[in-house]
Amino acid sequence: WASLGNILPLLAEAAPDEFLDAVEAALIDPDKSSFKVIFSKEESGIMGWNYMSGLLWALENLAWHSDYLVRVTLLLGELAAIDPGGNWANRPANSLATIFLPWFPQTCADIPKRRSAVEALLREQPAVGWKLLLSLLPTMHSTSMGSHKPVWRDFISSNWSERVTGPDYGQQVVAYADLAVGTTAANLPKLAELIERLPDLPNPAHLRVLEHLSSSAVLGLSESDRLPLWEALVDLVSKHRHFADAQWAMGTEIVTKIEETAKKLSPASPNLIHRRLFSNRDFNLYDEKHGQADYAEQERKLGLRRQTAVCEILDLYQIDGVLDFTRHVASPEKVGLALGCVAPESVDAVLFPQYLGTEEKPMAAFVAG
């Protein structure tokens, strides 16, 4: 496979079915596949080499034809699943994204066939399929040099155009967004990841995500399970309120709907609802719009909010509750700083003898604060 790399695209054109049969045979047992060895031989630097490029170009050649798109998609998915990653841009996952880009698709297959291929990949390689879906959703900036094109066979029809019509683009984006929403229905980590991409989703899919988040299936989850979803929604609202005047910011009506959904998922426990305040993302926690207040004032207000939160936990659960809370936040030192501003001196007498020399990292950061 490695030594024939330069001519693999021609061999694929010469006998597409036999070529795909050979690639499938080489992937029957992915863990023992020759491709794992070839991936490991990738060299970095100016004089380095990637011995998988020829195979990827060959598969990209065949993806232009509707008859081969599904097989090529599944093979690229299997290759992506065993790809350890590297410095070269020629990777199976990148080939997949290039083939299906809604604004610059590199296949002559019709839109229903493209969706069928992506659905097949989601069934066979869920992790790879999910990554592909996220790469196909709209973004502020996206570029593509296109995929490898066949030299001899007329896989690309004479009336094919690099330009995509508005309706075709919209149909593809809605299709992939719909698949993404369906994929997250029973997967909380993916749902939280999709929330971050809400601004990129077209309206039908956007509303479907919010409807799912407001459904009994999600609202019936425990507070701890709902917490990442609530935090993702609140962060999104805060970001777009903070930069409300930016061109990329969502409209007030949409942001309000997201905020209403977040309120439904909000935890009641102070131990959960205050965790977000003690993150490493102070900028996301500021109240005023960007440019309307100086950062020193914003920091002062945020510090007061943190002190109020720690006071509430201390009053409800005593110092043991604060320590438990500290072990679950991203920035334990900020809990210590807030506690140091509001706690009575008797707390020092409890904490310092026990934690000044501790090797437990969260507690060391906390007591330093």
| pLDDT at residue 140 greater than cutoff 80 | no
pLDDT at position 292 is 55
Q: What one-letter code names the amino acid at 328?
A: H
pLDDT at position 284 is 73
Q: Report the C-alpha gap between 109 and 117 in whole angstroms.
A: 10
Q: Report the C-alpha gap between 153 and 353 in whole angstroms.
A: 78
Region 331-360: mean pLDDT is: 92
| pLDDT at residue 318 greater than cutoff 70 | yes
Length of the chain: 369
Global pTM reads 0.83
Write out the two tokens for 12: 């694929």
Region 146-155: mean pLDDT is: 94
pLDDT at position 289 is 65
Task: Specify whether the backbone of 146 is left (phi greater than 0), alpha (psi in -120 to 50) or beta.
Answer: left
Cβ contacts of residue 65 below 8 Å, gap of 6+?
Answer: 16, 107, 108, 109, 153, 155
pLDDT at position 47 is 62
Q: Which residue has the higher pLDDT, 315 or 139?
A: 315
Q: Report the C-alpha gap between 231 and 275 in whole angstroms.
A: 9
Q: Report the C-alpha gap between 241 and 288 in whole angstroms.
A: 8
Write out the two tokens for 324: 């438990």
Q: How confident is the model at residue 25 (pLDDT cuts 50, 70, 90)?
A: very high
Summarised one tens digit per residue, pLDDT across range 262-311 is 999 999 999 999 999 998 877 778 766 655 557 788 888 899 999 999 99
| pLDDT at residue 48 greater than cutoff 70 | no
The chain-wide mean pLDDT, for the chain, equals 91
| pLDDT at residue 65 greater than cutoff 80 | yes
Q: Report the C-alpha gap between 157 and 324 in whole angstroms.
A: 65
Q: Report the C-alpha gap between 15 and 11 in whole angstroms.
A: 6
Q: Report the C-alpha gap between 352 and 367 in whole angstroms.
A: 7
- Judged by DSSP in three states, 69 sits in helix
pLDDT at position 110 is 94
pLDDT at position 143 is 84
Region 129-135: mean pLDDT is: 96
Q: Report the C-alpha gap between 367 and 369 in whole angstroms.
A: 5
What is the longest distance spanned by two Cα atoms in the chain?
83
Contact 98, 51 (CB under 8 A): no
